[in-house]
C-alpha cells in the first residue's frame, strides 16, 4: 500500500469519455496531473473544462492512438506541459458486433488497430521514458470481460481484448524490476458512450460487413445505460493499483462465466500424476532453457 498518487502525471487514452474520463476525475482528485488524449476534439475540450473546474491540473490532446508519429508528439507535449509521465491508462477502445463470418478485413483492421494497436503504441511510446525517468509508476490497460471469452457476435472485439490481456500480462513481468506495476481492467458493462464508437471509424476502414443502423446503436445505448458508473470503476482501479493487482474485474456477476471457462481448460488436463517421466523431461528442458536464456539476456541486454 505504498503507492503515492500525488504529484504524478497520468496519460489517459480515451480520457474524454466514459471509463477514461472517470479515471481522469478519480486520479485527478488523488493529486495526479492529468493528460487526456482522445480522437474527438470537442469531447477533449469539454472534458478539460470540467476537470479544470474541479481544480485538476490537466492537459488535453487530440490524438488518434493508431498514429505512431502523432503519439510521440502528444507524449512530448504532455510531458512539456505536466512533467514526466509515470502512470499510463490505455483506456480508449471501440467496438462493433455482428456475425463473425460477415466480417471484412476493414472490420478487423479498425478494431485491432485501435484496441490492441492503441495499447501497443501507448506502451512503446512511454515505457522507455518511464524507465528512464526512474519514478516507478503504474500502467492500466482496459480490456473487457471479453478478454476471457468470445462468441460469434463479439468475435473481433473479444480477440482484440485477448491480445490486450496478453500483452499487459507480459508487460507486468517485463517491468517488475523497474518499480512499475501493470494491471488489466476487464469490465463487464460501463455507463459510457461506446455505443457511438462507430462514428470515430476512419473512412480508410469504411468497408464493413456489419449493418450499424440507429436501431443497433439504440440497443447498445440501452445496455450501457445500465452499466457501472465510470468513477466507481476508476475507484476499483485505484484499489488495484495500491495492491499492485494484475486483474481488475469488479463485477460479481462474471463469476459463473469465468468459472465455466477456466473449468473447461482444467478439464482438458490429464490427471496431475499421469505421465511422470514426460513431465519431468519437459520441466527439466524448460528449466535449462530459462537458465540459458537468462545468461544470454544478461550478456546481450545487460539484464
Ligand atoms: N462500455 C462497456 O460496457 C465496456 C465493457 C468492457 C470494456 N469496455 C472498454 O472500456 C474502454 C473505454 O470505453 P468506454 O465504454 O468508456 O467508451 P467511450 O466511447 O465512452 O470512451 C472511449 C473513448 O475512446 C475514444 N477513442 C476511440 N477511438 C480512438 C482513437 N483511435 N484514438 C483516440 N481515442 C479514441 C473515444 O472518442 C471515446 O472518447 C474501451 O477500451 C472499451 O472497449 C467497455
Give the global pTM: 0.97
Question: How far from the centroid of its chain's Cα atoms is residue 300's Cα?
Answer: 30
- Specify the pLDDT at position 27: 98
Nearest to 210, CA basis, from 64, 92, 66, 110: 110
User: Cα(147) to centroid of ligand 1, in Å?
Assistant: 15
Gap between the Cα atoms of 85 and 11, Å rounded: 7
CB within 8 Å of 89: residues ≥ 6 apart? 10, 11, 12, 13, 15, 20, 23, 139, 140, 141, 142
Known catalytic residue: 224?
A: no
Angstrom CA distances, 83 to 26, 47, 86, stand at 19, 20, 9
- Specify the pLDDT at position 212: 84
Residue 121 buriedness (CB in 10 A; 0-12 / 13-18 / 19+): buried
Gap between the Cα atoms of 57 and 29, Å rounded: 10
| Assigned C-alpha cell, 62 | 487530440
User: Cα(96) to centroid of ligand 1, in Å?
Assistant: 12
- Specify the pLDDT at position 303: 61
Gap between the Cα atoms of 235 and 227, Å rounded: 15
Per-residue pLDDT tens over the stretch 248-297? 999 999 999 999 999 999 999 999 999 999 999 999 999 999 999 999 99
In short, whether 142's Cβ falls inside 6 Å of ligand 1 is: yes
Mutate which of 15, 61, 92, 184 for ligand 1 pocket (most atoms within 8 A of beta carbon):
92
Question: For ligand 1, what atom is nearest to the CA of residue 19?
Answer: 16
Residues of the chain with confidence (pLDDT) below 50:
none
Amino acid at each position: 500500500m505504498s503507492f503515492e498518487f500525488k504529484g504524478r502525471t497520468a496519460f489517459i487514452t480515451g480520457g474524454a469519455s466514459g471509463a477514461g474520463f472517470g479515471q481522469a476525475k478519480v486520479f485527478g482528485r488523488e493529486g495526479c496531473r492529468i493528460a487526456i488524449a482522445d480522437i474527438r476534439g470537442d469531447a477533449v475540450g469539454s472534458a478539460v473544462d470540467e476537470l479544470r473546474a474541479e481544480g485538476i491540473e490537466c492537459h488535453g490532446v487530440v490524438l488518434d492512438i493508431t498514429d505512431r508519429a502523432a503519439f510521440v508528439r502528444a507524449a512530448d507535449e504532455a510531458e512539456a506541459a505536466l512533467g514526466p509521465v509515470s502512470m499510463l491508462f490505455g483506456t480508449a477502445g471501440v467496438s462493433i458486433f455482428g456475425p463473425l463470418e460477415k466480417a471484412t478485413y476493414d472490420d478487423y483492421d479498425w478494431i485491432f488497430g485501435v484496441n490492441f494497436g492503441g495499447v501497443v503504441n501507448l506502451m512503446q511510446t512511454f515505457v522507455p521514458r518511464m524507465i528512464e525517468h526512474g519514478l516507478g509508476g503504474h500502467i492500466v490497460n482496459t480490456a473487457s470481460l471479453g478478454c476471457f471469452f468470445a462468441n460469434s457476435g463479439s468475435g473481433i472485439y473479444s480477440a482484440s481484448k485477448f491480445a490486450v490481456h496478453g500483452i499487459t500480462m507480459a508487460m507486468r513481468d517485463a517491468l517488475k524490476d523497474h518499480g512499475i506495476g501493470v494491471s488489466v481492467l476487464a469490465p463487464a458493462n460501463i455507463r459510457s458512450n461506446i455505443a457511438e464508437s462507430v462514428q470515430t471509424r476512419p473512412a480508410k476502414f469504411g468497408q464493413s460487413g456489419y449493418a450499424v443502423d440507429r436501431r443497433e446503436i439504440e440497443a447498445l445505448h440501452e445496455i450501457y445505460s445500465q452499466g457501472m458508473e465510470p468513477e466507481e470503476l476508476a475507484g476499483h482501479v485505484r484499489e488495484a493499483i495500491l495492491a499492485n493487482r494484475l486483474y481488475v474485474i469488479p463485477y460479481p456477476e462474471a463469476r459463473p462465466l469465468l468459472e465455466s471457462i477456466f473449468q473447461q481448460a482444467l478439464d482438458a488436463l490429464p490427471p496431475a500424476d499421469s505421465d511422470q517421466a514426460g513431465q519431468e523431461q519437459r520441466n527439466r528442458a524448460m528449466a535449462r532453457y530459462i537458465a540459458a536464456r537468462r545468461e544470454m539476456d544478461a550478456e546481450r541486454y545487460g539484464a
